[in-house]
Structure 1
Amino acid sequence: MTAKKNAKIAADLITEKALAALANCNSLRSMHDTSKKLITEHQLGLAFDPKRNNSFEMPTGLLICNMAESIRTALDADAVQGFASAYLAGDYVEPMGVVAEGGKLRVVAGFARYAGLMMAIASGADIKRVWVTQVEGGRAKELVRQLVSNQQVQASPLELAAAYRELIEVHGFSVGDLATAIHRKEAHIRKMLSLDSVAPEVKEMVAKGQASVTAVLTADKHCKATGQDTVVHMRDQLTKAQRNGSAKITSKSVGAPAALYGRKDLDVAAPVLVQLADQLEKAIPFMAAAPGSVKVELTLDGSAMNLQDLTQALANLRAAFLTAQVGSALIADVG
């Protein structure tokens, strides 16, 4: 009978009685309880039906934690210390995600928070109770919760790849399902999963921060297309980077070609090049009529230009031209 009555009431109904009752509420709990009562009395529509999450303040003595269940291979020491400081100061810390099992609370999300809590207690903090939220749905939900946790310290690419792979291969997620669940783009997920295709030695470079995921995947694709060994190539690149004083492979650290000339080079050299072009244009008819050597006269006024800048500008332009020729030859060889 109640369900039928509620169905006839507009979802956005709010009567004068409801407005007056809610105006006297000064806490979320009172608003929750009052709204529930008003809906039962048909003074509020179901659009105002409040929901409570599954957060609870529970005894710390009931917490258990198995770090092997974390997607992380190692906790960030600074993050753990930060959580410990927050617990010691009595500051707000986002609740850990737990599963109730056999009278214990198994931590499934918030491993750095748990480690920080234990550190704070070991430092003398008297923390008898802590806020936790219940995670339901098994291992798949636990992994997703770890991946989207607001205070989760950013996991490494390899850790993300392993978690994504488990959700897809073990728990039946598609790439699209996973992207929706963790609020990331499909391209990001596919990129992390592609790490599985590179050699372990190259993955280790990513783990050590010696190369980015993009750099590794780009190099691997290029090496496979040209028949090169990716491991050898990446080791050579790392050696170049280290020789240039960098611990990471980047276009700059390995001496990748940069722009050899800029606007200033063109501005400095342009007057001379235009003068040369004018002289050549005048000489073309003579060369056409009587092929042979033609003398071109070029007059430079040292007082009107900085000859040192001109020398450098011309050198830069020449180097750019030669580099372009070498690049064209390489492309022709590959083709």
Structure 2
Amino acid sequence: MTTKNIAANLITETAQAALAGCNSLRSIHDTAKKLITGKQLGLDFDPKRQNAFEMPTALLVCNVEEAIRSEFDQDAIRGFADSYKAGEPVEPLGVVAENGKLRVVTGFTRHAGLMLAIAEGADIKRVWVSQVEGGRAVEIVRQCVSNQQVPVSPLDLAEAYRELIDDHKFTVAGVAAAVHRKVSHVRKMLALVNVAPEVKEMVEKGQASVSTALAADKQCKANGEDTVVHMQEQLAKAQRNGSAKITAKSVGAPSALYGRKDLDVAAPVLVQLADQLEKALPFMATPESVKVELTLSGADLNLQDLAKALANIRAAVKSAQSGTEPAANVG
């Protein structure tokens, strides 16, 4: 005898009545499973459980050398300790079961917070953990994308990506897919691996962004210059200007002195000038000087805007010719 299939979204009156008496996730889970077996509930209502277990803290073992981060945020550890003490929800630790022990492989900051709470007298006998399967590569990926983790520093993230590629045969696209980031992000982090240690230290200390460090390194290598010397000079300049970080503003990097508006305003006059020059130049001759006359009417254009636009363009040209930093944009 063939059992008739039921609709995935089926929920009978019997099921509604049974679920109405459930007041915990456990009871909803168990009741729904029975109702689905009894054809009173469709598969749309099939509850799923994560692979999480509440296990004795005494079984936990942790080797911080397996963490991708080189330093731990003490404020974050303090925060997790307080959360554990208060009985607040904390994301489960990722563990691997080995020889009767639970080796922590994700959530190292959370584990440090748990240990701090216990050291300060909290009576925490059990903690929620989830099983991580798939080996070291999966452990690294999980550390990179863990939902409740303290943000990993750019350098630690770069080294984690490098390990996935060098030791676990990931492609750049594979890393991007695994950590749910763009390929360009992964390439950017990987490029950071190859900059000089002194430049990495600046990034680590927050004295330069990843983008600033990589752009400077690329430019210096193209020009045959020393990236470290250049970055140290830029940092010194930023510090003289009262900033602790290299930015375009702090080092006085030139911004665009003229924009599309300046070109739009100046273009008609420049075209008129070109026409006058063409008329004034003798055919097939190269005179030493030519006199041209321009008649500009305020009725046809805003002479004040024109003066500003031409001043901005002139300043940019002079700056490029002299190699000095230009003055601020006019207007």
How big is each residue's C-alpha offset from its partner over 1:140-165, in whole Å with a ceiling of 9 and x where there is no partner? 12111111111111111110011111
Alignment of 1:160 onto 2:162:
no
How big is each residue's C-alpha offset from its partner over 1:49-81, in whole Å with a ceiling of 9 and x where there is no partner? 322112222222221111101000010111111
Alignment of 1:256 onto 2:216:
no
Give the match's secondary structure for 2:221: helix
Alignment of 1:14 onto 2:6:
no
Greater helix fraction, Structure 1 or Structure 2:
1
For 2:258 and 2:11, locate their aligned partners in 1 and report how far apart those are by CA, in whole Å: 74
Question: Residue in 1 aligned with 2:105?
Answer: 108
TM-score, scaled relative to structure 1: 0.76
Give the match's secondary structure for 1:170: helix
Alignment of 1:40 onto 2:24:
no
For 2:107 and 2:135, locate their aligned partners in 1 and report how far apart those are by CA, in whole Å: 16
Conservation of the 8 A alpha-carbon contact between 1:60 and 1:129? yes
Alignment of 1:285-324 (within 5 A): 319-324=315-320
Alignment of 1:222 onto 2:228:
no
TM-score, scaled relative to structure 2: 0.77
Question: Residue in 1 aligned with 2:197?
Answer: 200
Question: Residue in 2 aligned with 1:131?
Answer: 128
How big is each residue's C-alpha offset from its partner over 1:274-319, in whole Å with a ceiling of 9 and x where there is no partner? 9xxxxxxxxxx99x9xx9999x9xxxxxxxxxxxxxxx99987864
Alignment of 1:70 onto 2:47:
no
For 1:153 and 1:169, locate their aligned partners in 2 and report how far apart those are by CA, in whole Å: 25
- Distance apart, 1:10 and its partner CA: 4.1
CA RMSD of aligned residues (A): 3.9
Question: Residue in 2 aligned with 1:277?
Answer: none
For 2:95, the aligned partner's letter is V
Give the match's secondary structure for 1:125: coil
How big is each residue's C-alpha offset from its partner over 1:217-269, in whole Å with a ceiling of 9 and x where there is no partner? 1112112222222222222222222222222211112221136689xx9xxxx
Alignment of 1:23 onto 2:53:
no
In structure 2, do the counterparts of structure 1 residues 5 and 324 end up closer, same or farther at CA, with 3 Å as the change threshold?
A: farther
Alignment of 1:47-196 (within 5 A): 47-196=44-193
- Distance apart, 1:320 and its partner CA: 4.5
In structure 2, do the counterparts of structure 1 residues 293 and 96 end up closer, same or farther at CA, with 3 Å as the change threshold?
A: closer
User: Which of these residues, 199, 210, 230, is aligned with residue 213 of structure 1?
Assistant: 210
- Distance apart, 1:35 and its partner CA: 1.9
List alignment gaps of at least 5 residues for structure 2: 270-278, 294-307, 325-331
- Distance apart, 1:208 and its partner CA: 2.0
For 1:84 and 1:5, locate their aligned partners in 2 and report how far apart those are by CA, in whole Å: 56
> What percent identity do the matched residue pairs reach?
67
Give the match's secondary structure for 1:58: strand
Number of residue pairs aligned between Structure 1 and Structure 2: 312
- Distance apart, 1:42 and its partner CA: 2.8
For 2:9 and 2:75, locate their aligned partners in 1 and report how far apart those are by CA, in whole Å: 51
For 2:234, the aligned partner's letter is Q
Give the match's secondary structure for 2:188: helix
Question: Residue in 1 aligned with 2:297?
Answer: none
In structure 2, do the counterparts of structure 1 residues 39 and 5 end up closer, same or farther at CA, with 3 Å as the change threshold?
A: farther
Conservation of the 8 A alpha-carbon contact between 1:55 and 1:95? yes
For 1:5 and 1:152, locate their aligned partners in 2 and report how far apart those are by CA, in whole Å: 50
